[in-house]
Amino acid sequence: MTELRKKMIRDMQLRRFSDRTQESYLSVVTRFAKHYKQSPDLIPAEKAQDYLLYLLNERKLSWSSCDVHANGLQFFYRVTLGRSSTFILPPRKHAQRLPEILSATEVERLFAAVSNIKYRVILMVAYGGGLRLSELVALKVTDIDSQRMMIRVEQSKGNKDRYTLLSQRLLNELRAYWKIYRPKTWLFPGKTPDKQISESCIQKTMILAKIRAGIRKNGGVHVLRHCFATHLLEAGTDLRTIQMMMGHSSVATTARYTRITANRIRCTPSPLDLLVRPSQV
């Protein structure tokens, strides 16, 4: 590892960047250096702007991906190198796509399609607690509070702790899983007990389960978190409670799920049904 890379890592750690952000920014600078075949500290800032245009116009990367590259390069130049350079892309509206929510029946089919209890329980925890993928792999055995019927989510997005639901059904499944696997530290260890299970492994499980269950809707493991919020809303749970369990900083973020709740749509009469047909006059 070069001294420059060590310094950038140290700079990010001092600012308490998440592991995911650190990996992303390091990857950005590495690709930038490979593109120009030079050490990144020798590349002038003007070329960084040219590189962003290359990503937009030739590589055809999405606007959000280019934002990540701009932020990573800006941090590298301004903080690690101590140069006053700014790479800000002009604001642009991002396409807003609603997730494809699984019905309760489809969720049950999904679980039934996973024969291995460990991987079935992983998907059940994702849905039953509304967890992000990164939160799922970071769960420890001690995070399951069976006395208070809660799941503790430690130092998640925004470096915040929170608690979410632990249903009796999920607790029963977790106990059956524990009797077989006896995890010690990580609730879902990887190939070795001292390592977490990989995110890619869980995503593969989700993909295979959807195929076996005959589910054609889009979305990986994160769709189960969307289902958690949507199904709770449809059951009458208030937005503020869902916000706390999901770890959203603003209730406005949680309120987006009101756009996809089936109850609101089903309970709204269609204008077609409101028409008076000639035969009824």
Ordered domains of the chain (ranges, CATH): 3-80 (1.10.150.130), 104-264 (1.10.443.10)
Q: Is 109 exposed, middle or buried (0-12, 13-18, 19+ CB in 10 A)?
A: middle
pTM metric for this prediction: 0.75
* In the chain, beta strands by DSSP E: 144-145, 150-153, 162-165
The two three-digit tokens of residue 202, written as one number: 């869980």
Least confident of 76-80, 100-104, 241-245, 259-263: 259-263
Which whole number is the average pLDDT over 95-121? 91
Which whole number is the average pLDDT over 9-37? 93
The two three-digit tokens of residue 229, written as one number: 């919020």
Compute the CA torsion angle 17, 23, 26, 32 (nearest 10 deg).
-130
Q: What pLDDT is stored for residue 168 in this prediction?
A: 95
Banded pLDDT at 93 (limits 50, 70, 90): low
Residues in CB range of 245: below 8 A, 6 or more apart: 129, 130, 162, 163, 164, 165
User: What residues act catalytically?
Assistant: 132, 157, 222, 225, 248, 257
Residue 267 has pLDDT above 80, yes or no: no
Average pLDDT value over all residues in the chain: 89
Which whole number is the average pLDDT over 259-279? 71
Q: What pLDDT is stored for residue 212 in this prediction?
A: 97
Q: What pLDDT is stored for residue 279 in this prediction?
A: 64
Residue-wise pLDDT for 166-221, tens only, equals 999 999 999 999 999 999 999 999 988 899 999 999 999 999 999 999 999 999 99
